[in-house]
Each structure stands twice: as C-alpha cells, then as structure tokens.
Chain A
Amino acid sequence: MGKRYDVAIVGSGPAGLSAAVNAKIRNKEIILFGYSDLSNKLIKAPKINNYLGFPNITGQELKENFQRHMEAMDIEITTERINSIYAMGDYFVLMANEKMYEAKAVILATGMEYTKPLKGEVEFLGRGVGYCATCDAPLYKGKVVTVIGYNKEAEEEANYVSELAQKLYYIPVYNGDYKLSDKIEVIKDKPVEVKGENIVTALELANSTLKTDGVFILKDSISPGQLVPGLEMEEGHIKVDRNMKTNLKGCFAAGDCIGKPYQYIKAAGEGLIAALSAVSYVDSMR
C-alpha cells in the first residue's frame, strides 16, 4: 500500500482546482485526479463574462490561466479515472482500475456529466442490474445476461461474461465495429426499461423485449452515488451542508455535482470551502 494522502480531490474542473490550491496553501499533502485538459466544459465555452477579474475571456484562455496557476503552485494532476471510493471509517480507499490510493479526506468535484439512469435501473441495482460485469459474472453462470455498452471497453467485458453465461445479448449505444465473440447476439435497439418483480426478469427495448436474468450497464461516467457507496444524494445532486460536508465523515463535495447554478465561480468558491473544511477535518484527526 502506498502512502496515505491528507486530501484526495476527484475532478479537475474549477471546483477541484480551487480545492487543490487552497489545500496546498495550507500545507496538506494532496492528490488531484482528473484530465490534463482540466474540463471539457472549460474548453467548450466560447465567451465567459461572469468570472470576476477576467472579462470577455474564452474558455480556452481561462483553462490556460488555470494551468499556469497549477504549475506555479507545483500541483500535478494524476490523470486517472476514479471508479470507486470506499469510506473505511477513518480513511478512504480510491480505486482507479487496478490501482489503489488512500486519503484521510476526499473532495468530490466531478461535475455533472453522467447519463440519466434507465427506468428501473436504480430500483433493481444489485437485484440483477450491475455496473461491473466482470465483478459479478460468476454469479450469472448458466444464466441469460444483457450488456448495454456505451463504449468500446464494454465489449471486452461482454466477451468475458459470455464465457460463463448461457446466453449474452449485447446492446451497443454507439456506432462502430464490434469486436465480439461469435456467441454474443448483438441487438440494435434502444433500451427503455428494466423490468422484474423482486429481481430482474426482462429488459424492454423500443421495439422488443428481452427475457434476461441480469442487465449490466457499462457507461463512461458514473453518478456520485455509485462512485461512493453510501453517499447521500438529493434530487440528482450530492447533499451537502454550508461547509460542503456530505453525510460521510471526511467526505466533502463542490461544484456542479452539488447543485445549480452551474457556474465557474460558484464551483471555485465551493472548492475553497470544501478545502478549508477538509483541512480542519484532517487537523482534528491528530
């Protein structure tokens, strides 16, 4: 196991960056996860007129300013996608594919880019609906499984599960050539609703219905409630108090992921508050 950071920040938009700057100023050992391009929502903005101090700036320019600020403060971005965060009690474990990181406090600044859940998806989660096919595959030995894939990586998982399952349907939600084993039946139709009684029995599509024991939904981005098991949500956003505290001890959140309005300077301000709360939490642990 590597070292235990004071604060792990997930997300490299204005909320995450502002949190990183402020935690670093207070001499905390931080790790910041995100993308070298910081945030797609920054690059895409044609003109920004409501970020105080930078009238009439483009998103690209603001991004470059943010990057210079990070360099000046010696803050590096660890370009890894965090898949799950486990609240262990006095610390957190953050998983990025096969890698594991530990931190005393976590700041969630993941933005709001995840796709809406399907009808029935949340209701049947763990009762036939899953997000990690390879994880739960052995439980579906000899059963019928449907994989809804939002990206190419989903194909690999589908191939693996098809070796165990009796039958596997693959529903691609993207275009391209599919590298799938011959045993898999590809269905080009739009998923509408997961159905069942106590457990999943079928997946309804726009033009047909599949009888299935399990449905795996493999997306690019996951909602915070899935990212951090046990995290309390409220109307699609992470529930926080004025200090950006979530229901989990040591876990804070900032930016679009905690609610509207979706704006840069609000995100940055919340990142600051979250960082200060995380710093005092870490200090109180000693």
Chain B
Amino acid sequence: MRQIGDSTFIEEVENYQGVAVIDFWAAWCGPCKMLAPIFEELNNELGDKIKFAKVNVDENPTVTNKYRIASIPTILIFKNGTVAETLIGFRPKQEIKTLLEKYV
C-alpha cells in the first residue's frame, strides 16, 4: 500500500482528478491494525478505479491538522481533491465498499 504524507499530499490527492481514499493511521492504534487488511483487500478489488493511500499521522502533522483528524483510524474519500466522505473509526469492509461503489 502506498504511503503518502505532508510533502506529497497536494500532488497525490488535492490535485488529483478522480476518487482517492486515504486511511489516516498510526502504529500505536489497535483499530488501525484491524482496518489495514480490509483496506488492502479493497485496494485489490477496486484499485484500478480508485486511488488508495495511507497517511501516518505521527510523521505527517501538517495534513493531519489540516483535515482535523481527531481520532484514528479515519478514512477520507476525496473526489477531485475535496473531501466527499469521512469515515471515523473502524468500519466493516462491506460498509466501506458500499460507499466506495457510489463513486466508481
């Protein structure tokens, strides 16, 4: 899974025309670990239509603050560079997939 951060976020997400799904996570966060394999599976299933990437909040304070991440995991779905959907906390695979399918 691609890791992006403060230096690449504008180019990779904000200037990206299309749908990008970003998982904000950290190594110390249990629910993030549970979400990780689900995020991988979704990438395998939808990765040709949607851009998937992760942001480590410990290493990237600028984007973390900019998008006011107050709890992790948080998944942001961007459409043409703006946030279209926010998912806070662990979510079951089916719920995320149903949401993403609206955007493909």
Binding site for B on A (CB under 8 A): 84, 86-89, 93, 95, 125-128, 130, 135-136, 138-139, 198-200, 214, 229-230, 248-249
A126-B89, A138-B58, A230-B95 are contacts. A89–B41 as well, Cβ < 8 Å? yes
Q: Are B89 and A95 in contact (CB under 8 A)?
A: no
* Most chain A beta-carbon contacts within 10 A, residue among B28, B34, B74: B34
Choose one: B37, B57, B69, B71; the contact of A88 (CB below 8 Å).
B37
Interface residues on B, range: 20 to 34
Q: Does B1 contact A (CB under 8 A)?
A: no
- State A8–B70 Cα separation when bound (angstroms): 32
Q: Flag if B91 contacts A229 (CB, 8 Å).
A: yes
Judge whether B37 and A139 touch: CB under 8 Å.
Answer: no
B63 at the interface (CB under 8 A from A): no
Complex CA–CA separation, A199 to B70 (angstroms): 9
Q: Taking the nearest CB of chain A, how far is it from the CB of B50, in angstroms?
A: 18
Enumerate chain B residues within 8 angstroms of A136, measured Cβ to Cβ. 70-72
Name the CB-closest residue of B to A128. Answer: B70
**A89 CA to B37 CA, complexed, in Å:** 10
Q: Which residue of B lies closest to A251 (CB)?
A: B92
Complex Cα gap A130–B88 (Å): 11
* B26 touches A (CB below 8 Å): yes
Which residues of B have CB within 8 Å of A230?
A: 90-92, 94-95
Q: In the complex, what distance in Å separates the CA atom of A200 from the CA atom of B68?
A: 11
